[in-house]
Amino acid sequence: MCEAGGGTATGTVLIENERVRVTEWQFAARGDNTGWHRHDYDYVVVPKFDGILEVDTGGDAPARVETRADAPYFRERGVEHDVINGNDFPCAFVEIELLENGRG
């Protein structure tokens, strides 16, 4: 992920090599966030919980994304956003950036 700034969630890089970067994001409470950032590469998100993520892209209100534990979803690079915990419980997801796609 490009440098996320100002967020309260904790990102821990688990794997990083020339092909992928795998980061686990942990949110301790409702409202914790990654901070505004933009991905330089396409990526896959694997939620570790059933619940809601709010994704703020600067519009009127953050989009609510329903997640299911272990149900991955794909996103393309380039959209500036902030990911927010929309739950009344701690949650986490794993983010897998595809570094070798040559588009970054």
| 33 lies in some domain | yes
18 φ/ψ sector (left φ>0, alpha ψ -120 to 50, else beta)? alpha
Q: Which domain holds residue 19?
A: 5-52+69-78+86-98
CATH value at residue 42: 2.60.120.10
Q: How many whole angstroms separate alpha carbon 80 and alpha carbon 77?
A: 9
Tell me what pLDDT residue 72 has. 98
Reported pTM: 0.89
**Closest C-alpha to 95, from 6, 27, 8:** 27
% of the chain at pLDDT higher than 70:
91
| 36 lies in some domain | yes
Average pLDDT over residues 74-99: 97
Spatial contact of 9 and 26, defined as CB atoms under 8 Å apart: yes
12 Cα distance to chain centroid: 12
| 57 lies in some domain | no
Domains in the chain, number? 1
